[in-house]
Structure 1
């Protein structure tokens, strides 16, 4: 599943092609995504100017006048910019044709993504209203994590993957940030002190920033706007490295299921 770095990489790749352009037509070939694509999208979006393309958590928000298109890539979705005459493939479900002669095209083999046309502020939508702070924003800090974690018995890895506490820390990046902070992923969130949470918040910021700079992580499905893959997988310290030596102390990296997800860690340097 594309995580925050992959979605941010997609946003940065799309923005120069779409912002400031007018929508000519919208073609919906398959409306049955995770939630139905309503007819209002093809009716209301054409003729509007795209004012901005932003990101909230793993959602992309295309602002067009008083409306917003909220998009999620689901498990295997991708957005590309292609020439208008590019034939549509089997899983190309949505085209937004621009006045530049290009098309923003959604490809989603598993159909777990979404394209929702909103005519009210996006922050009021149920998918966004309850989200925690952006991890790269000033609002996110060790003090925030410390305050949110008091009394929590859940494993810290589960805690930081909860979007109500901080958005966008997916499975790969949670394992990597906890390794950088030297915190065992199964330690109860409420038993971690303020100083260690400051270290963890810094590790989350650093890990995600590095992943964005590398264009995200390609392990299975993710492909960028330009058809290329992300490169952060070449820098992974523990994720997917079960049985291989820890880059700090050469202890074998272990794997454990925490919160129903595979979790990778060093049993010696993460306590």
Structure 2
């Protein structure tokens, strides 16, 4: 299982960026490229085991009503500079195994139940210092993070600023599968390409846990701050994720 290695590395300050190079990779960030006919969509994903990535269901319906039909997903792990040729340390795999939450309805503008699981073929990615899963938060982890911190961090791509950003919690009541965040000012906002990225913090055991996901960023530039963001609550989907990814192996 992944409990012995997930979220075990701290101190990652860079975000994958083009064209500015990050100081280091963030090991659970996966670049998600959707390929279908003439359609190309780029987003992000969250590595939770060698074989499993969480991302937003919404991205499979951008520009196409057919969802996962005839889709191929290119997944890149261990990358930190998209402007340079891929180094030997970068791993690229392809999959068409996409599970969208059964309650997601692409016709609804609210993007309820906006979560999907990608399953890789074979043994999945090879884990190393550049490619490691993040721990998966549950309600206990979320309660701890909300009472301990005033904000969550965001790891994703692409952004021109290279420091990990923090986004404050807010108290607006939303549906159970969302939680409320408030951005104060650009560039401390999710940017285009961050859809599917993790909101995360450190739990009492010293490990890093994903508790939320960027729901959808459709602008082609980084939006300005000063507005409320509904974040997909990963903890709400904890049981659904476990049911559809167990066992989550990390060791060969």
Q: TM-score, normalised by structure 1?
A: 0.26
Q: TM-score, normalised by structure 2?
A: 0.27
Higher strand share: 2
- Larger RCO, structures 1/2 (Cα 8 Å, 6+ apart): 2
